[in-house]
Amino acid sequence: MTDQRLNRRSFLRKTALAGGASAGVLAAPAVLAQAPLVLKMQTSWGASNIWQEFAQDYADRVEAMSGGRLKVDVLPAGAVVAAFQVMDAVHDGVLDAAHTVCAYWYGKSKAASLFGTGPVFGASSPAMLGWFYEGGGAELYRELTQDQLGLNVVGFLGFPMFAQPFGWFKGEVNTVADLQGFKYRTVGLAADLLQSMGMSVAQLPGGEIVPAMERGVIDAFEFNNPSSDKDFGAQDVAKNYYLSSYHQASEQFEFLFNKDFYDDLEPDLQAILKYGVEASATANTNKAMRRYSADLKWLQEEAGVTVRRTPSEILDGQIKAWSAILPELETDPMFKRITDSQRAWAEQVAFYELMNAPDYALAYEHFFPGKLSL
């Protein structure tokens, strides 16, 4: 497929030269008119998921910044391949690009999950996105994907997600003992973590979660956020929603590009694809703040969902479980190089972040008394 792919840079260059040779014959607008270069990007999200909108936010910015020279055709999960198969499809050139998360190719290397769904060393999701771009994470990602796994991809991370809720349960859970035996949906290293805490884990794409709950394949689950959960119909199969968790507290979107396709672009178009990720991260964050909070309010007030913070005993159990499973995982040298890098970054950056941050909860409680006592 790579051999058959049109050399787009050569095509664009030849088109421009042909246009120049004809300038004395054709009017300028006709000479300069050029069909956009279309990228076929599939996501790992359903068409109605808010994350599909987030992918479109990226596409809109790329098209605008390129003056229409680039157009991203955003397709939902299943349009070409299944949600968990986008990495392979981009590697093979079946897709030009994908909008996904690293945990979805965790089966190739558990180290993949460290780029978003790994242990929490005390740094926030924005801080860990900083590690990717300023702390050596991007080079480690390149080594893992290209050098170690031989994947023909270029990837960037964007949108530092809010910490993911522990999720949806049919009844209350208050202690680690209450979790024993639950059939629970999650992905990536969170599966290793929660299995070590006594849960039985199924790794399912988002669109399969509620049907699995209805069939009894699982009896508790998490996905990511109130808006996606609402759109899935989570409130129809469970009424207890636990916010805050250490199982996936610092994830980001992964933007994948076929390396042959990316390398063949002019440098300015490469830059637009790369820095468009940063632009969409701001847009996604702003939209998430508005939509996630509004949908959480709807779940409480209209859908009869009881919203709680995950009990401190379970949170403490998660931290201890991370410490317990890391030594075996770190027998993989690449895995350990990444976690060593993340630890060093978190120790420095989270110290500043935590020491500098005022107690926002104290201020919130002052102006909106009683609302946080869930």
Residue 359 has pLDDT above 70, yes or no: yes
Q: Are 144 and 109 in contact (CB under 8 A)?
A: yes
Region 292-298: mean pLDDT is 98
Predicted pLDDT of residue 30: 43
Residue 325 has pLDDT above 90, yes or no: yes
What is the chain's length? 374
**The one-letter amino acid at 81:** V
What mean pLDDT value characterizes the chain? 91
Residue 12: what pLDDT? 44
> Where residue 29 falls among pLDDT bands split at 50, 70, 90?
very low
Q: Please give the model's pTM, rounded to 2 decimal places.
A: 0.89
Mean pLDDT over 113-127 rounds to: 96
Query: 188: phi > 0 → left, psi -120 to 50 → alpha, else beta; which?
Result: left
Mapping DSSP onto H, E and C, the string for the chain reads CCCCCCCHHHHHHHHHHHHHHCCCCCCHHHHHCCCCEEEEEEECCCCCCHHHHHHHHHHHHHHHHCCCCEEEEEECCCCCCCHHHHHHHHHHCCCCEEEECHHHHCCCCHHHHHCCCCCCCCCCHHHHHHHHHHCCHHHHHHHHHHHHCCCCEEEEEEEECCCCCCEEECCCCCCHHHHCCCEEECCCHHHHHHHHCCCEEECCCHHHHHHHHHHCCCCEECCCCHHHHHHHCHHHCCCEEEECCCCCCCCEEEEEEEHHHHHCCCHHHHHHHHHHHHHHHHHHHHHHHHHHHHHHHHHHHCCCCEEEECCHHHHHHHHHHHHHHHHHHCCCHHHHHHHHHHHHHHHHHHHHHHHHCCCHHHHHHHHCCCCCCC
Contact present, 268 and 9 (Cβ < 8 Å): no
Is residue 235 within 8 A of residue 305, CB to CB? The reply is yes
Tokens for 233, please give them: 């119909």
- Number of other CB atoms surrounding residue 32 within 10 Å: 11
Give the pLDDT band of residue 33 (cuts 50, 70, 90).
low
Percent of the chain with pLDDT over 90: 87
CA 93 to chain centre: 21
pLDDT band at 23 (very low <50, low <70, confident <90, very high): very low
Which pLDDT does position 35 carry in this prediction?
83
- 306 strand-pairing partners: 240
Residue scoring higher pLDDT (205 or 261): 261
Angle at 196 between CA 191 and CA 198, to 5 degrees: 100
Statement: residue 19 has pLDDT above 70: no
Each domain of the chain, given as residue ranges in start order, spans: 8-160+250-290
**pLDDT at residue 296 greater than cutoff 80:** yes
| φ/ψ of residue 73, rounded to 5 | -90, 105
Name the architecture of domain 8-160+250-290. 3-Layer(aba) Sandwich (3.40)
Given a cut of 70, is residue 356 above it in pLDDT?
Answer: yes
pLDDT (0 to 100) of residue 5: 45
pLDDT in tens, 166-210: 999 999 999 999 999 999 999 999 999 999 999 999 988 888 999
